[in-house]
Amino acid sequence: MTTISAQMVKELRERSGAGIMDCKEALKECAGDMDKAADFLRKKGLATAKKRAGREASEGVVQSYIHMGGKIGVLVEVNCETDFVAKTDDFQEFARNIAMHIAASSPLGVVPEDIPEAVVEKEKEIYRAQALEMGKPEKMLDKIIEGKMTKFYKDACLMNQLYVRDTSLTISDVLNDMIAKTGEKITIHRFARFQIGG
């Protein structure tokens, strides 16, 4: 039986932002393994996120971030269920970090459905031409294009991107952690990224 020390709970709390009891439970469940306990909490957060998916998120903030002496600017709308959560430092910081991430990673949309059809078709055309040039057989093309599009969506969609502040997480993971932390439905609704000469 692994003894769960207060220090271990404190460390996991700092790492995950979860409550004391949740951290204790996760550490017990994972025999004191910090990485496994963090994963356990993330999965639990995911379950919480799924439960909250049907709720209304009509409060929130529009956060801005200006980078490189005014050369790049981002506006992002992040929604939650209550004004109380919207005003917390944690929520404001989360929205600011998302805006900063967008400035650095320039996604094309929040989810694949946000990317204009014309952009998607152009990508598919490029991948088809590349595959043909490499002498790939016609019957393999759809499979090759599908694989390339999966990678494209991973790079182009905000929710699939690796978080610039911690590349072991996707933006989706960071969002689910925030949902678990606040106990509210939170959505990254939309964003606009401006770049001088872009």
Domain containing residue 76: CATH number = 3.30.479.20
In Å, how far from its chain's centre is CA 40? 18
Q: What is the pLDDT of residue 53?
A: 63
CATH number for the domain harbouring residue 137? 1.10.286
* Same-domain status, 101 and 189: yes
Q: Examine residue 1 and state whether it is found in any structural domain, yes or no.
A: no
The residue range of the domain holding 93 is: 59-110+157-195
Q: Is this prediction's pTM over 0.75?
A: no
Q: Examine residue 74 and state whether it is found in any structural domain, yes or no.
A: yes
pLDDT digits (tens, 9 = 90+) for 141-173: 889 999 999 999 999 999 999 999 999 999 999
Q: What is the pLDDT of residue 99?
A: 97
* Same-domain status, 64 and 106: yes
Reading the block at residue 195, the tokens are 């770049």
Q: What is the pLDDT of residue 14?
A: 73
* Same-domain status, 151 and 73: no
pLDDT band, residue 11 (cuts 50/70/90): confident
pLDDT of 47 over the 80 cut: no
Q: What is the pLDDT of residue 46?
A: 58
* Same-domain status, 40 and 124: no
Give yes or no for a contact between 80 and 185, defined as CB atoms under 8 angstroms apart: yes
What is the number of domains present in the chain?
3
* Same-domain status, 73 and 168: yes
Q: What is the pLDDT of residue 101?
A: 97
**What is the rounded distance in angstroms from the CA atom of residue 111 to the CA atom of residue 194?**
19
* Same-domain status, 142 and 161: no
Burial class (CB in 10 A: 0-12, 13-18, 19+), 181: buried
Q: Examine residue 45 and state whether it is found in any structural domain, yes or no.
A: yes
In Å, how far from its chain's centre is CA 58? 20
